[in-house]
Amino acid sequence: MMSGTLSLLFRERLRVMRYTLSENPVNMLAFVLFGLLALAALFGPMLAPHDPLATNAQDALQAPSAQYWFGTDQLGRDVFSRVLVATRLDLLIALGAVLISCVVGSVIGAILGYFGGMLDATASRVVDVLMAFPLFVLAMALVAALGNTVMNVIYATAIINLPFYIRLARAEVNVRRNLGYVEAARVGGSGHTRILMVFLLPNILSPVVIQASVNLGWAVLNAAGLSFLGLGVRPPTPEWGIMVAEGARFITSGEWWIALFPGLALMVAVFAFNLLGDALRDILDPRLRT
Amino acid sequence: MSAEALLSVRSLSVNFRTRSGTVAVLDRVTFDVAPGEIVGIVGESGSGKSVTAFAVMGILDAAAQITSGEILFEGRNVLAMGARERDAWRGSEASIIFQNPRTALNPIRTAGEQIGDVLARHVPDTATVIRAKVLDALRQVRIPDPEKRAKSYPFELSGGLCQRIGIAMALSCSPKLLIADEPTTGLDVTTQAVIMDLIRDLAHERNLGTVLITHDLALASEYCDRIVVMHAGHVVEAAPVAELFAHPRHPYTTRLLRSVPSIADDISQLQAISGSLPDLRRSDLPPCRFAERCDRRIPACDAAGLMLEAAGPSHTVACRNPL
Amino acid sequence: MTETPIIEVENLEKHFVVAREGLLRRRKEQRLHAVDDVSFEIYPGEAVGLVGESGCGKSTLSRVLSRLVDPTAGRIRMNGRDVTDLKTSAFTRSPLRREIQMVFQDPTESLNPRFTAFDLIADPLRQLMPPSSRASLQTKVEAAADNVNLPRSLLTRFPHQLSGGQKARVGIARAMVVEPRLLVLDEPTSALDVSVQATVLQLLDRLRRESNVALLFVSHDLNVVRLLCRRIIVMYLGQIVESGTTEQLFDNPRHPYTRALLSSIPTLRQDRKRERIKLVGDPQSPINPSPTMCRLYGRCPRQQERCRHEAPPLVADADGRKLRCHFPES
């Protein structure tokens, strides 16, 4: 019966989605952009006109042209191909971090919000301390401490994002834990674990998903920022952050395209995820709309 | 009714634009309120009674459209007033008390400040004079220790006290018309009695025309002079209280009366009303919106042009087959 | 009655600590006395009304009786056996859980928005009386729906696709499907329109007669309780102030609070009109109430000096009626 419920819910959602998209064209834009990013991530390496790693000293530092759409960098590599291929890595890092953060954070937050008491009081103070640090600096410290690898960048980003999910889940569960249907579940024989898993977590999915999609934008920026500083991803792997770092040197000498295009890509990605968050909010819970 | 009517709502129709279509919330609503009279608008949820009140006050949602009709206040069409004139009118000539007293008050301003705000808006004066008027208003609604209460915030006050503040605010500029939208829903029964007594006494003292909106027929029977029964956006019957309960003519009124617990001696005597409210988004709504639930339906019920017609002294009913 | 009560509570107390003792003992501990010294029993198949206004403790009491909340003092007996030491978490897992079920006030809030009506009714069944097969689950859920006149076609709908009356019926079906002996109803019709209320009330009455399930009907609406219940318990500020049969209470209410309550309820029947008895003054606070003063003191039209120094006990009279008052009306 549960699967039947899921398919019914899904059909409901599709109907609301169609309506919301038609009502607000910006939501359409969000999905289109997200679609493009997803395509770039999935098929980037296949679609790239040039090998992103192939150096070509002759064609170095060339402005955008018909052959090299975004120009070439100081080693003669095609900027467009690199930007395209980098999409996959950046998105994966962001997605990985947000997924871990979201799942772990929501569960912790839900437990805190549900049980309250001393557990909540102490844990919340720990979270407060975590949030008191400048998060980016914390990420740097974590990567430096754990080791300079991509996985650690993912973990570090996940950790610094935890507080948002913990707080969100805690607040949402707190609001719902005294609602009639939770009491009904207790009278109906469900223990605490089942109530959390079956009745509370699924019902806070909407605000959490919305937070996650907005978070994706931030996570992309975070990953790029860390590699800009030399932490995590290392050259010659194409990644937007590294590309901006490398291209920054050349802006003053007039080769603006090396840093601009990866920067633009970052911007588009963050923009797309923020819009996606808004669109999802409209679809999943219109009451949250401002 | 004659030109003496304080408020005359004539054939008011209101639509709501929503995500799922246009909802014909009110259809040709008509009723009068005389000065000093307490008129009860009674109906279940979805009957449009609150929408009527908000339309009269001019505080409908942006999604609402008044498609036809007039609202005459002392002969003037309120709907034709400009925004400024309407703003000045609202609060000084006509006032409203809302359903949930605690949320109807601004939580970050004290009671005294809020009443003072209303006064300052319509009858600007020095702070001293306004302070005196505020205390006077609090005394009028029988709040003990008015100096202390004027400095209290809504969260410090009980529901009953909050509602009295609301009443004080509404009456501070001596309006001629008072609309009370479910003023006691959410209050304890003992508090409800006290608040309703207060409203009735003030209405009589000041010769206010009062509109009491409620779903509680028993409450309306105790405090109102006349009752207007609404169903799905239509006025189905209107009559003086005693007449309505002694000789209800509309099938809905009769069924409603039989479903109220206080009227029955035994649970088997209670009668539910079959069916449910029609979907007001339909384009094929029948002329009588109760027809599909009615056990007295006849073919004539499908004819257009259903109007309120006389059925006794001051008694009107909109039905093709009244009792 | 010689039958064993389904549930019996004795000197039940539920207090909440709202503020702890100050560090240097300068500030006293603030305890909210939600329920104080409550004793009564409910027999199989009977309908008992629990009435009072907001803050009287009836909601808290209903939660203690449903074993959602543990009392701070007093004893609870089920079927004659003392179960006070069986705490709520353990109770959830015991076979006694299905004997007491609850119907909640707000039909919207009390139904999980992610479950279909079918799942909502099936869930307690799966937890408390696991059926042997998918087919038997289906049969039982459909039978429960039939029992409350809920069309089977609505079982695939979600709560937001149901009307108020339909949601209320899902709530009742869900509670009845595990065949409880006692149904605790917390204001089940307050959020419903009066015409739908009639349906639900008649449904409850029929269920009681057919399944012999006892009802504890918690409400502020005495008109409703009068029609459904044979016995009524009136509460004020956490205590029982009067209890007796419906006829006794309505024909001759003796406690000043009961009289004030009855006189404040609007009624359509002119022959039932009573002279309004007003309770002037603010109610006492439920926090750290004085143990030597009657809790109605300060508002009571019949109060005297004795009421200030001596809190009246709950006393039973010859007719089985219980009264907590020094100077009740005769």
Q: Residue B247 maps to which CATH number?
A: 3.40.50.300
Q: Does residue B133 lie in a domain region?
A: yes
Tens digit of each residue's pLDDT (9 = 90 or more) over C196-239: 888 899 999 999 999 999 999 999 888 889 999 999 999 999 99
Tens digit of each residue's pLDDT (9 = 90 or more) over B284-305: 888 899 988 888 888 888 888 8
| Rounded mean pLDDT, C74-103 | 91
pLDDT at residue B145 greater than cutoff 90: no
Minimal C-alpha gap between B188 and chain A (Å): 22
Q: Does residue B223 lie in a domain region?
A: yes
pTM of the model: 0.85
Chain B CB contacts of A286 under 8 Å are: 19
Q: Which pLDDT does position A285 carry in this prediction?
A: 66
Q: Do A1 and C112 touch (CB under 8 A)?
A: no
> Among all chains, which residue has been given the structure tokens 């029992």?
C147
Closest chain B residue to the Cα of A20, Cα to Cα: B19
Packing angle between helix A79-115 and helix A117-132, nearest 10 degrees? 150
Total tally of structural domains belonging to chain B: 2
Closest chain B residue to the Cα of C229, Cα to Cα: B267
pLDDT at residue C131 greater than cutoff 60: yes
Contacts of A99 (CB under 8 A, 6+ apart): none
Q: Which pLDDT does position B278 carry in this prediction?
A: 84
Please tell me the number of Cα atoms within 13 Å of B137 on its side-chain side: 28
Q: Which pLDDT does position A290 carry in this prediction?
A: 35
Give, in order, the Cα–Cα distances in Å from C239 to each of C56, C234, C312.
Answer: 7, 8, 11
List residues of chain C with CB under 8 Å from any CB of chain B: 53-54, 163-165, 193-199, 201-202, 205, 220-224, 226-228, 260-261, 263-269, 272, 276, 278-279, 282
One domain, residues B185 and B53:
yes
Pairing of strands B7-18, B64-73: antiparallel
One domain, residues B86 and B199:
yes
One domain, residues B151 and B188:
no
One domain, residues B166 and B52:
no
pLDDT at residue A289 greater than cutoff 60: no
pLDDT class for B1, splitting at 50, 70, 90?
Answer: very low
User: Is residue B295 within 8 angstroms of chain C, CB to CB?
Assistant: no
B19 with B83: CB under 8 angstroms?
no
Q: Do C114 and A180 touch (CB under 8 A)?
A: no
Q: Does residue B197 lie in a domain region?
A: yes
Task: Please state whether C25 falls in left (phi above 0), alpha (psi between -120 and 50) or beta.
Answer: left
Q: Which pLDDT does position C330 carry in this prediction?
A: 77
Q: What is the mean pLDDT of chain B?
A: 90
Minimal C-alpha gap between C158 and chain A (Å): 9
Q: Do C109 and A189 touch (CB under 8 A)?
A: no
Contacts of C18 (CB under 8 A, 6+ apart): C30, C31, C32, C287
HEC string of A229-275 equals CCCCCCCCCCCHHHHHHHHHHHHCCCCCHHHHHHHHHHHHHHHHHHH
Contacts of A121 (CB under 8 A, 6+ apart): none
d(CA C162, CA A132): 47
Q: Do A191 and C89 touch (CB under 8 A)?
A: yes
Q: Of B146, B174, B202, which one is at a domain's C-terminal end? A: B174
Closest chain A residue to the Cα of B21, Cα to Cα: A19
Taking one residue from A and the other from C, the number of pairs with CB-CB distance under 8 angstroms is: 82
Q: Which pLDDT does position C220 carry in this prediction?
A: 85
One domain, residues B41 and B190:
yes
| Rounded mean pLDDT, B255-277 | 85
Q: Which pLDDT does position A97 carry in this prediction?
A: 93
Q: Tally Cβ neighbours within 10 Å of residue C134.
A: 9
Nearest residue, CB atoms, B259 vs list C165, C195, C267: C195
pLDDT at residue A267 greater than cutoff 70: yes
Is C245 strand, coil or helix? strand
C219 with C138: CB under 8 angstroms?
no
Tens digit of each residue's pLDDT (9 = 90 or more) over C62-82: 999 999 999 999 999 999 899
User: Which residue would you say has higher pLDDT here, B186 or C2?
Assistant: B186
Nearest to B185 by CA among B214, B149, B228, B156: B214
Q: Which pLDDT does position A34 carry in this prediction?
A: 87
pLDDT class for B20, splitting at 50, 70, 90?
Answer: confident
One domain, residues B222 and B187:
yes
Q: Which pLDDT does position B2 carry in this prediction?
A: 47
Q: Which pLDDT does position A286 carry in this prediction?
A: 55
Q: Which pLDDT does position C276 carry in this prediction?
A: 81
pLDDT at residue B246 greater than cutoff 50: yes
Q: Which pLDDT does position C317 carry in this prediction?
A: 85
One domain, residues B47 and B187:
yes
One domain, residues B184 and B164:
no
Chain A CB contacts of C109 under 8 Å are: 179-181
Please tell me the number of Cα atoms within 13 Å of A255 on its side-chain side: 19
Q: Of B174, B200, B222, which one is at a domain's C-terminal end? A: B174
Angle in degrees, CA B18, B22, B25, rounded to 5: 95
Q: Tally Cβ neighbours within 10 Å of residue A126.
A: 11
pLDDT at residue A13 greater than cutoff 90: no
Between A133-137, B62-66, C267-271, C285-289, the lowest mean confidence (pLDDT) is in C267-271
Q: Which domain holds residue B183?
A: 33-62+81-93+178-317
Chain C CB contacts of B266 under 8 Å are: 227
| Rounded mean pLDDT, A21-34 | 80
Nearest residue, CB atoms, C68 vs list A5, A12, A186: A186
Minimal C-alpha gap between B282 and chain A (Å): 19
pLDDT at residue A7 greater than cutoff 80: no
Percent of chain B with pLDDT over 90: 54
Pick among A115, A187, A196, A204 to test the C interface (most C CBs inside 10 A): A187
One domain, residues B58 and B107:
no
Q: Does residue B193 lie in a domain region?
A: yes
Q: Does residue B73 lie in a domain region?
A: no
| Rounded mean pLDDT, C161-187 | 93
Q: Does residue B291 lie in a domain region?
A: yes
One domain, residues B244 and B311:
yes
Cis peptide before A236 (omega within 30 of 0): yes
Between A276-290, B48-62, C102-116, the lowest mean confidence (pLDDT) is in A276-290
Tens digit of each residue's pLDDT (9 = 90 or more) over B204-245: 999 999 999 998 898 999 999 999 999 999 999 999 999 999
Q: Do B218 and C223 touch (CB under 8 A)?
A: yes
pLDDT at residue A193 greater than cutoff 70: yes
Between A113-117, A130-134, B202-206, the lowest mean confidence (pLDDT) is in A130-134
Tens digit of each residue's pLDDT (9 = 90 or more) over B102-130: 888 999 999 999 999 999 999 888 999 99
Q: Tally Cβ neighbours within 10 Å of residue B198.
A: 18
Q: Which pLDDT does position A201 carry in this prediction?
A: 92
Q: Which pLDDT does position A214 carry in this prediction?
A: 84
Nearest to B24 by CA among B41, B7, B40, B12: B12
> Among all chains, which residue has been given the structure tokens 């970052």?
A266
